[in-house]
Amino acid sequence: MEKRKESWIKRFLHLLTDEELKQLCSSLEKKELLEKTRGFIIDKIQRDISDEQFLKSEFALRLVTSKLNQTVSLIESTLKRLEKADLIKICQDLGKEKIVTEEMEKSEVIKEMFTNIPMLELWRSKRLQERLKPKYISITHVKSLEKEVDALKDDVSYLSNDIKFISDRILLMNKDVKDLSTRLQSVEGMFSVGTIPDLQTYLKALYEEAMAIGEKTSPEAFRGISERLQKKLGIDERVFILKGIQLLLTHYFLTQVKLLPWKPALEEFWRIFKEVFEEVKIMEDQAEIPTLRKHVCQRMGISDEIFDELLIDASEKDYVKLDVGRPIGEYDVKYLTTKDGLKFYYAKLKR
């Protein structure tokens, strides 16, 4: 059996051009053979490369498929050159007269011949070979053509005998791919998580546990909290940890974003400003700017400089009126100073 496999590979290699043979050496990681003779390369590949290694080469598999397609195309083009009557006679000579009828189109006859008659049998048809012989060529050319046809018949025979072997190898490779896919799905399942509770439910459960602890902060007070929370929320440990990390990251990011020195929208600033104004105003429509600055900056997480810029913007849009003034007995006062150098201490709402 092993001898037969070596034989088809060797015969297949003989079908390749010198360039195809060199490319095959590279694909099989046999670059040291590139400078060798054609016969040496063919013998070396047949001797050292197993069928399995040979067919695992994508380039080799493409070459095999290409040569098979070329053979089939050659036979098909040959049949197309013949008359329909010749095709029917060929079927009769081969004992396949039942597969075709006079009423069938020529293309249908050829299709039935490909479906029901092995390629090697077609080439062996005497009528086919007679129709292929040009009447005007010499005997030398005829003999040369016969030799080429005989060689091609042998190649087709070996390739036809081993096509099942190649197909089995391809099916085996497909099975390996499916097995790998199954394993990947199994690994993916290891990292999958169940239903994750929404943030409100998660926080409520944490709050209830925190209230149950009270002021106790000893290690014993934390014993069993994780298990109780998992049971209450109906989740496993991985989900519990993932949700906790999500919560911590969210809190951290929000805290850090508030510390960034960016300038919020004027409308958002004005909404907070009015709320604070109502809390710290000293008269019905007036409040001290330093006090407003302190509370608004704390609420919005902005710097004093950003506050002053936004308050000046609000003044320019006629949202607020700025007034001068100075508190009695205070000297280190941080006034609101405009680009023109004007200093203001009071603010009055205008809308």
Average pLDDT for the chain = 80
More confident residue, 256 or 276: 276
pLDDT at 9 over 80: no
Average pLDDT of the segment spanning 188-197: 61
272-287, pLDDT tens digit by residue?
A: 999 999 999 988 889 9
Q: How deeply is 148 buried, as exposed, middle or buried, from its count of CB atoms within 10 A (0-12, 13-18, 19+)?
A: exposed
Please, how many CA atoms are within 13 Å of residue 192, restricted to the half-sphere of its CB? 8
* 100 contacts: CB under 8 Å, gap ≥ 6: 87, 88, 91, 108, 109, 112, 113
Pairwise CA distance, residues 257 & 302, whole Å: 10
Pairwise CA distance, residues 22 & 35, whole Å: 9
pTM: 0.32
Segments of 265-339 assigned E as strands: 286-288, 320-323, 336-337
CATH architecture of 266-349: Orthogonal Bundle (1.10)
Q: Where do the domains of the chain lie?
A: 2-184, 199-259, 266-349
More confident residue, 191 or 99: 99
Which amino acid, residue 350?
Answer: K
Pairwise CA distance, residues 46 & 316, whole Å: 90
Task: Find the angle CA(306)-CA(307)-CA(310) to the nearest 5 degrees.
Answer: 85
Helix (H, G, I), strand (E, B) or coil at 36: coil
* Residues 163/168/174/180 CA torsion (nearest 10 deg): -150
Q: What is the pLDDT of residue 295?
A: 96
pLDDT at 2 over 70: no
108-156, pLDDT tens digit by residue?
A: 988 888 888 877 677 667 777 776 665 555 567 667 777 777 777 777 7
Rounded percentage of the chain residues whose pLDDT exceeds 90: 18
